[in-house]
Amino acid sequence: MSFDSEVSNWKYSTFFENKNHRFDKKDILKILPKDDIDEAYNVISGWDNYSSTPLRSLNKLSTKLNLNKIFYKDESKRFNLKSFKALGGAYAVEKVSKGNKNITISTATAGNHGRSVAWGSQKLGLKCKIFISEHVSESRAKVMRSFGADVIRVKGNYDNSLNECVKQSEKNNWQIVQDVAWPNYKLVPKLTMAGYSVMMKEISNQITNQKISHVILQAGVGGMAAAMVAGIARYLDHVPKIIVVEPESAACVLESIKAGQIEKISIEKESIMGGMSCGEVSLIPWEILKNSVNYCVTVSDDHISKTIKFLANNQFADEKLIGGECSTPGIISLIALTNDNAIKNKINLEENSNILLFGCEGDADEELYQKLLNSN
């Protein structure tokens, strides 16, 4: 089957328009303030080996979809941690430790956040305890251990690992560095989001003569998506249409926007996109996303493997790209939305459109990446 005939059949699972949409720059920057965003960039850009990650052009895909430009923020080599999360957890560790070498850092993770926290702790000579669920691969656990972290596996899903992390941290007086907020725990998640916003600062410097018309943002608990919205408010002089994409099995942002309040959903089957398989949107991201998002879309796992192959075999761009499972849904949803003429027209995907996508991880889980890359 040819590339064109292959992708022409791709479909999304659910599409939802946010009837309460309004982009209020002042409100957004009250939640994640400009000074916090600026400080994160100033600190992180001063780290050893810092450099902006590339903004690729998926020129072959934009031609096939009859769009002007598709920009792809490639986070596959960020600080050699292979994920945008290198920006958040490590920054939060630095801020909360305040030079104190005697504290122990703890976190729960599906993989990439824990890698960042472990790396940040190692840089500062801090002890680190990381809680993972039974669904997190040994490949990811091994990388976290390589940064000196004590990795503790917990039966059940991510929520079980988080509950155990909180329980043990309270018992042992460990400092939790989590990317999820809950009542009375909001400072650290804000720090991680401020770290993520560095990506939008870089993008604003990388796109100088084009205006982004649409941005598609992956969401798990919503931290990255909300940080990018805050980055748009801080750095861009225009507001693109904002689309959130989630796994069909874990559409907590979509269901919450539909209900007008945070809705906790039951995940009956874990998505291959493990870092996005979350049952509840986090408190701070929710306050930003509930009004700023124009549309929500969900996708199945069906086209993840093909998308990884198309990236690796330079079907989408002139260069070969390494994109992990959580880098695929932006591409999959864009293709699916353009395949639906009614939706394509509704959201103004046109020949002059400039789309921003996020390749939020590389082969962070090397075993899974190779399995997906080499599957039939």
Mean pLDDT of 28-50: 98
Distance CA 242, CA 248 (A): 18
**How large a percentage of the chain has pLDDT more than 70?**
99
CATH class entry, domain 3-83+192-373: alpha beta
For residue 167, give both structure tokens.
């329980």
Judged against a pLDDT cut of 70, whether residue 77 lies above it is answered with yes
Tell whether domain 89-178 is in CATH 3.40.50.1100: yes
What does the mean pLDDT of the chain come to? 96
The string of pLDDT tens digits covering residues 298-326 is: 999 999 999 999 999 999 999 999 999 99
Judged against a pLDDT cut of 80, whether residue 227 lies above it is answered with yes
pLDDT, position 275: 87
Where are the domains positioned within the chain?
3-83+192-373, 89-178
DSSP for residue 60: H
pLDDT, position 1: 52
Mean pLDDT of 265-274: 91
Tell me how far CA of residue 32 lies from CA of 38, 87, 165, 197, 209, in angstroms: 11, 16, 26, 10, 27
Confidence band, pLDDT 50/70/90 cuts, at residue 159: confident
Q: Which residue matches tokens 């659910």?
A: 14
Tell me how far CA of residue 180 lies from CA of 90, 114, 146, 261, 326, in angstroms: 15, 13, 24, 17, 18
Encode burial over 117-143: b for 16+ CB neighbours within 10 A, e otherwise. Answer: bbbbbbebebbbbbbbbeebbebbbeb
The string of pLDDT tens digits covering residues 237-256 is: 999 999 999 999 999 999 99
Is-same-fold flag (3-83+192-373; 89-178)?
A: yes
pLDDT, position 208: 85
Is 347 within 8 Å of 295 (Cβ atoms)? yes
Mean pLDDT of 128-142: 93
pLDDT, position 64: 96
Judged against a pLDDT cut of 70, whether residue 374 lies above it is answered with yes
Confidence band, pLDDT 50/70/90 cuts, at residue 150: very high
Judged against a pLDDT cut of 80, whether residue 341 lies above it is answered with yes
Give DSSP secondary structure letters for 143-196: HHHHTT-EEEEESSSHHHHHHHHHHHHHHHT-EE--SS-BTTB-HHHHHHHHHH
